[in-house]
Structure 1
Amino acid sequence: MPAPLTAQQIALYMSKRRAGSRQEVAAAAAGISVSSAHRIDAGRLQPKAAKPRGRRRPDPLAEVWEPLLLPLLERHPALTPTTLLEHLQEQKPDQDWSSLKRTLQRRVQQWKALHGPAPEVMFPLAYQPGEIGFCDFTRLKRVAITLRGEPFPHLLFHYRLAWSGWAYGQLIHGGESFVALSEGLQNALAACGGVPKELRTDRLSAASRNRDGSYALDITPRHQALCAHYGLSASRNNRGVAHENGIIEAPHGHVKRRLEQKLILRGSCDFEEPAEYAQLLAEVFCALNAPRQQRYEQELEHLGPLPAFRFADYELLTVRVRSTSTIEVRQVIYSVPPTLIGRQVMVRLHHDRLVVFLGSDWVCQLPRLYGASGGKRAWCIDLEHLIDALRAKPRALLHCRYQRYLFPDSRWWDFWQQLLVGGDRDAAARLMVEALYVAVRVASYALVLAFLEQAQRRQTLSLSALQQRFRVPPRCQSLPDPAIPQHLLATYDHLVPMPALCGGGSGAAAPAQTAETGALPQSLAAAGRSG
């Protein structure tokens, strides 16, 4: 009995016939007989549907599927095949069921497709140009970024237009605060050059209260004010449904993978300054936006205008400067110029810096630090503020609470420890304070430290040698209080005009003279004695 014709043979024969080949030629090309070709042309030969393959061996789960496993799946459809296999091994330990793991996985998958709960349906979404922008924070987890060898905890702020895919990103110090959201969003809108109609975030605590109730009341007042300033309509996704922000959640991974590749090419994850790391991140987003430039230019025409001025991207705090020339902000101690001691200052708290004002006058800008968990205070000491006061009291270096933070780096700190071990602690304090003063006011940290290490190796290190090397005059001692002797009151007599007194002024005046001139004035010295 000849083998049945396959669908491929029939399709090949028909294609040859449509191309103009004779019946015999087309049948030979398809590998079929001429009689079969006659039946195909007459419509009397159709391909038969393949019959489903039946079971070739006994079902290994027949004894346990319906009585034991199926009731569990019907009550708890979330059970996995691995859990069911472990349960089966516990119930029937006399048999090894591990070899049936793949069989059980296929059986459970088939049952869930036919009888299990329907999964959530995802609907493809389409947005119009200028309709909506998304923003979110994300964290770089697979690589460790460091600044000068120290860990650098940070976040990435990510903004994206839904229609064109144009994106913006920047570094964020600290956590997901409103200050960070405000600065990141405003920088993104400024870089974009326009404002969409709607802004979508996830359940950021900086933007929403994350409570059940009215949607409008769920948005924080500060976030509402920010969006109103730019003419944005604020919205957020439902709690625990991250895929509603899929337009920005998925590109998080693209950004971080590109950044990791950039770091691999760079050969190091250590940076001298945050600005250097920010520049690398800007290059990543520039490369991402390059293929979207044309669509971005089209969407730019549908974006709203930017306002004339920015919304406040900082938090205002009022603090008083302590007698230690420091202020405390969010469990971090910052040094300020000593002239502010006792004064009340205004602090603009950004996510990465503090700006200090006295009234309306700018005083200084400080890098923002974040305290460690557990309520332990951190220190941010600028030696520029305190070096003059420390030079006046060099022994204060020995027991200062923030002694470690007075030194610019670990090399200076190690040298200080060597001086303490070497001998006179007071002399070591005077030498080190003078060295720090020279580094801040005269030379540089690197130059002064190189001189100290070289002089120590030559055993010629001294305070006078340091001052001579950098031409620093010795600190002037405070002048003693002058001893001013008390002068005699008689020295004032020449200020009062009077005639010369005869007999030393002790005898009685002549009657004629007295009558002529009247009573003579008494000298001040004599009056003092007579009184």
Structure 2
Amino acid sequence: MIHGGESFVALSEGLQNALAACGGVTRELRTDRLSAASRNRDGSYALDITPRYQALCAHYGLTPSRNNRGVAHENGIVEAPHGHVKRRLEQKLLLRGSCDFDEPAEYGELLAEVFSALNAPRQRRYEQELEHLMGLPAFRFADYELLTARVRSTSTIEVRQVIYSVPPTLIGRQVTVRLHHDRLIVYLGSDWVCQLPRAYGTGSHGPRAWCIDLEHLIDGLRAKPRALLHCRYQRHLFPDQHWWNFWQRLLASGDRDAAARLMVEALYVAVRVASFALVLAFLQQAQQRQTLTLSHLQQRFRVPPRRTALPDPVIPQHLLASYDHLLPGAPLSSCGSGAAAAAQTAQAGAVPQPLAAARSAG
């Protein structure tokens, strides 16, 4: 299952998964003229192959080959079964009654069922081929791209014109991103930080898509709830259409600032305290009864109000005369002595520190 086209990353991961499933490596790897493997220029194929694809084949001891330009039927033994797979998959989707899936893994299970039925008659020939496979290398080839990104003040990074949210502890730091065809893995130095689903979009100007995890942003948003009104990715902060519709009704009620404070607190409760379904049911019922307030929400879920800023500490200023005894040759009496000096120090709030003792000779 490929996300975002036939990239080299997708080719590398799919090929290595297939070889691992077979438990061995063939001696030749036959492809069409896909751009992830070759530049498709006239001339020698050895010079036309991309360096990354050449390194992948060398890692597994594969001899790469491809069909000639404009002679697609040379790969007919592959293209014909591929057509059968697409027709069987289409029939499965018709019997299912829908092409919509909640999770990619659910679609992957359907594909595995189709391939299993298609490969069943070929099991004997497959077992015969296993005897001639070469052994797998000890390690997989890299099936990702390495990128670096700077975390913005909004706790987001931009990768291939897509905005992703990351934990706020990374703000201002440079992170390393392993870009797979279906996910991103973020590292700070050599430490794993988080894994994000990869998003794709269409658009030539500005970000193509957004991938926002509310858990990354909710604490900062709670500190400044009015930011919800002007957030560029406002729509992506809400878990589903029901929450978005409720937010639109709140905005239409009049006070936008109060609506923002209430909605941000509700999202905070849903992320940190209860579930999204439970909080939304409470909001809808309270709105129907006309009892929906910020304090009512906090009391219902026992959420303490947002902490206010701590008062500035009061630090008493000491007297500058207390530094006089540090000057070479200055008499100790310059800053006072006895009870008067102690009273002066106590009044200034300074704590006298002992001087380092001189190193003894010998």
Shift of 1:524: 2.9
Residue 57 (structure 2) pairs with residue 227 (structure 1): yes
Distance 2:43 2:203 in 1: 32
Residue 234 (structure 2) pairs with residue 417 (structure 1): no
Distance 2:145 2:284 in 1: 45
- Secondary structure at 1:225 match in 2: helix
- 1:182 is aligned to 12
Change (3 A) 1:241 1:433: same
- 2:135 is aligned to 305
Change (3 A) 1:212 1:466: same
CA deviations over 1:209-233 (Å, ceiling 9, x no partner):
1101112101111001101111110
- Secondary structure at 1:271 match in 2: coil
Residue 237 (structure 2) pairs with residue 371 (structure 1): no
- Secondary structure at 1:459 match in 2: coil
Letter in 2 for 1:468: Q
Distance 1:358 1:380 in 2: 20
**1:456 aligned to 287, 290, 294, which one?**
287
- 1:405 is aligned to 236
Residue 175 (structure 2) pairs with residue 345 (structure 1): yes
Distance 2:114 2:195 in 1: 29
Q: Percent identity?
A: 85
Residue 292 (structure 2) pairs with residue 475 (structure 1): no
- Runs (5+) with no aligned partner, structure 2: 322-336, 346-362
Distance 2:161 2:154 in 1: 16
Shift of 1:526: 9.8
Shift of 1:525: 7.9
- 2:262 is aligned to 431
Letter in 1 for 2:205: G
Distance 2:30 2:11 in 1: 12
Shift of 1:337: 0.7
Indicate conservation of the 8 Å contact 1:431/1:462, yes or no: yes
Shift of 1:240: 2.1
Residue 144 (structure 2) pairs with residue 314 (structure 1): yes
Change (3 A) 1:489 1:208: closer
Letter in 2 for 1:315: E
Residue 29 (structure 2) pairs with residue 212 (structure 1): no
Shift of 1:483: 4.4
Distance 1:205 1:259 in 2: 26
Letter in 1 for 2:341: L
Residue 96 (structure 2) pairs with residue 266 (structure 1): yes
Distance 1:248 1:264 in 2: 25
Shift of 1:521: 6.8
Shift of 1:277: 0.3
- 2:278 is aligned to 447
The 5 Å alignment of 1:151-162 reads none
Letter in 2 for 1:451: F
Distance 1:321 1:309 in 2: 31
Distance 1:250 1:238 in 2: 18
The alignment's TM-score, normalised by the length of structure 2, stands at 0.87
Select the structure with the greater relative contact order (CA < 8 A; seq sep ≥ 6).
Answer: 2
Indicate conservation of the 8 Å contact 1:207/1:219, yes or no: yes
Letter in 2 for 1:289: N
Change (3 A) 1:296 1:488: closer
- Secondary structure at 2:175 match in 1: strand
- Secondary structure at 2:158 match in 1: strand
- Secondary structure at 1:272 match in 2: coil
Change (3 A) 1:263 1:488: same
- 1:193 is aligned to 23
Distance 1:215 1:484 in 2: 76
- Secondary structure at 1:173 match in 2: coil
Shift of 1:313: 0.2
Distance 2:72 2:106 in 1: 32
Letter in 2 for 1:453: Q
Change (3 A) 1:358 1:525: closer
- 1:285 is aligned to 115
Stretch of structure 1 that moved more, 356-365 or 244-253: 244-253
User: Alignment RMSD, CA only?
Assistant: 2.2
CA deviations over 1:274-305 (Å, ceiling 9, x no partner):
00000100010011111111111111111111
The 5 Å alignment of 1:27-176 reads 171-176=1-6
Distance 2:341 2:98 in 1: 90
Residue 93 (structure 2) pairs with residue 276 (structure 1): no
Number of aligned residue pairs: give it: 330
Shift of 1:259: 0.8
- 1:524 is aligned to 341
Shift of 1:389: 0.5
Letter in 1 for 2:265: E
CA deviations over 1:90-139 (Å, ceiling 9, x no partner):
xxxxxxxxxxxxxxxxxxxxxxxxxxxxxxxxxxxxxxxxxxxxxxxxxx
- Runs (5+) with no aligned partner, structure 1: 1-170, 491-519
Distance 2:66 2:3 in 1: 23
Residue 160 (structure 2) pairs with residue 330 (structure 1): yes
Distance 1:363 1:301 in 2: 42
